[in-house]
Structure 1
Amino acid sequence: MILKGLKEKSIKKRLNSILKNREAHFNTVKIEHLGIILNADETSDLEALKAIAQTLDVRPNKLKIVAFTSSKDVLAYSWDACFNTKDFTWNGKVKNAELQAFIDTEFDLLISYYATDVLELKYLTAASKAPLKVGIFQLDKRINDLIIKTDFNKLDLFKTELKKYLNVLNKLHA
């Protein structure tokens, strides 16, 4: 129990450090690589999430989806990678190599599609090397560069609004 509290405190400390030192690097690079972070406990519709990539004309091999679950049984999910709290050490470091590779990948766009306030999801979003981070409404506004305030269950509305804003930012191929 003490270790769990220490782990949570360490992750919060790392998250705040990342957010404090974060610099916005807006570029005009068109979106080709897409990363999606989600909470597997909230959604199980993989095809609907892959439709976001199709809407943005991102090839399937340039899409990477990772999911967080509070469940101990991560094998039951069909995501590219699924992680839980056991993938973090007691001092808040990521110990899952696949998850660390996701963080280190420089996606052109990172979508944080989760509504529940989960510390590990927020850390993963903040630690990502993606220059543009988009999410649905969240309590901590420092995590994403663009927040599209939609209901979590209205993925089609989110896709429409996302495409509209990315067109305005000139991030989509013509």
Structure 2
Amino acid sequence: MIFKKLKNNSLKKGLNTHLKARDTSGINARVKSIGFLVDEAHDPDFEKFYDIFKDLSLQSKDIKLFSFVDSKKKLPSLQQNQVQNKDFDWKGNLHNRNAQEFLDHDFDVLVGYYPKQHQILDVLVASSKAKFKVGFQGADERLYDLLLNVPFKDFALFKSELKKYLEVLGKL
């Protein structure tokens, strides 16, 4: 119980530290790569994310996805692009090499694909080196450069709104 409270406080402190240290110099860059941070509890279907490259005139290799899962199932999984609560120690430090590589990647756009604030995913978004960050209405506004006001479950509308705003902002 004490370690959980310490971990939560450390995650909050880490979030604020990452927000202050954010480099926004590349915010107006054109989109050549896009990353998605997804909460598997809300959307376990990943194929649709990889199909978005066609709409954004990108190559499939330019789309990367990383997901959060509360706890791994007992079954073995080949999924390496996952982060869990237990990947953070009580000091709020991330101990997942694949997740750190994803966060260090210099994405032109990072999409936080989860419907509301989420402590772990919010910290991951804040610590990402992405130039431009997109989230959903109801998320922590400090994390994102663009918040889309679309129903979370309507992926087709999300995709069209994302494309529309990226075009309007001169990113496509």
- Normalised to the residue count of structure 1, the TM-score between the two structures is 0.90
Deviation (angstroms), 1:144: 0.6
CA distance in structure 2 between the aligned counterparts of 1:82 and 1:3, rounded to whole angstroms: 23
The answer as to whether partners of 2:110 and 2:132 remain within 8 angstroms in 1 is yes
Deviation at 1:29, TM superposition (A): 2.8
Match of 2:167, SS state, is helix
Superposition CA RMSD, Å: 1.9
- Describe the superposition over 1:78-121 as per-residue Cα deviations: whole angstroms up to 9, x where unpaired: 76601111111211111101101111110011011101422010
State the distance in 1 between where 2:131 and 2:7 align. 27
User: What is the letter of the counterpart of residue 59 of structure 2?
Assistant: R
Q: 5+ unaligned residues in a row in structure 1: which ranges?
A: none
Who is 1:118 aligned against?
A: 118
TM-score calculated relative to the size of structure 2: 0.91
Could you report, residue by residue, the CA deviation over 1:23-77 in whole angstroms, capped at 9, with x for unpaired residues?
A: 5334443211111001001012112222222211221112110000112328677
- Say whether residues 1:136 and 2:144 are aligned partners: no
Q: 2:43 maps to which residue?
A: 43
Q: Aligned letter for 1:10?
A: S
Large movers: runs of 4+ above 6 Å: 74-78
Contact 1:109–1:133 (Cα < 8 Å) also in 2: yes
- The aligned residue for residue 171 of structure 2 is 171
Report how many aligned residue pairs link the two structures. Answer: 172
Match for residue 72 of structure 1?
Answer: 72
Q: Measured at CA, do residues 155 and 89 of structure 1 come closer, stay the same or move farther in structure 2, by a change above 3 Å?
A: same
Query: Any conservation in 2 of the 1:6–1:90 contact (CA below 8 Å)?
Result: yes
Aligned partners of 2:110 and 2:85: how far apart in 1?
A: 21
- 1:50-65 matched pairs, under 5 angstroms: 50-65=50-65
1:67–1:79 Cα contact (<8 Å) kept? no
Residue 128 (structure 1) shift: 0.5
Task: Among all aligned residue pairs of Structure 1 and Structure 2, give the percentage whose two residues are the same amino acid.
Answer: 37
Between 1-10 and 121-130, report the one with greater CA deviation.
1-10
